[in-house]
Amino acid sequence: MDKTQLDALEKYSSLAKLVRDTSLSSGRKEVDKGKDELIWEDVYKKLECKPNGSFLDIGCGFGGVTELCLETAAKENWKLTLFDIPSVIDALHQHLDKNILKNSNIFSGVYPTTTPTAFCEQKFDRILLYSVIHYTDNPKQFISKLVSQLAPQGKLLLGDLPNVDKKGRFLASDFGRKFEAEYQQCNVDSLPHYQTHKGYVKSITTQQNKAINDELILWMHEHFRNSGYNVFTLPQPEHLPYSHTREDILICKN
C-alpha to C-alpha distance for 246 and 242, rounded to whole angstroms: 6
Asked if residue 72 and residue 27 are part of one domain, the reply reads yes
For 19-75, write each residue's pLDDT tens digit. Answer: 544 444 444 455 566 789 999 999 999 999 999 999 999 999 888 899 999 999 999
Asked if residue 111 and residue 229 are part of one domain, the reply reads yes
Helices and strands (DSSP H and E) totals, the chain: 12, 7
pLDDT at 208: 72
pLDDT band at 1 (very low <50, low <70, confident <90, very high): very low
Number of domains in the chain: 2
Asked if residue 168 and residue 141 are part of one domain, the reply reads no
**Is residue 207 pLDDT above 50, yes or no?**
yes
Nearest residue to 211 via CA among 9, 24, 22, 2 = 2
**Concatenated DSSP letters of 158-195:** EEEE--HHHHHHHHTSHHHHHHHHHHHTS-GGGS---S
For 108-148, write each residue's pLDDT tens digit. Answer: 998 888 888 888 889 999 999 999 999 888 999 999 999 99
- Contacting residues for 226 by C-beta, under 8 A, at least 6 apart: none
**Range of the structural domain that residue 235 is part of:** 3-162+211-252
Asked if residue 169 and residue 55 are part of one domain, the reply reads no
Asked if residue 197 and residue 94 are part of one domain, the reply reads no
C-alpha to C-alpha distance for 17 and 94, rounded to whole angstroms: 10
pLDDT at 136: 86
- What CATH number does the domain containing 144 carry? 3.40.50.150
Asked if residue 101 and residue 184 are part of one domain, the reply reads no
The SS3 assignment for 23 reads helix
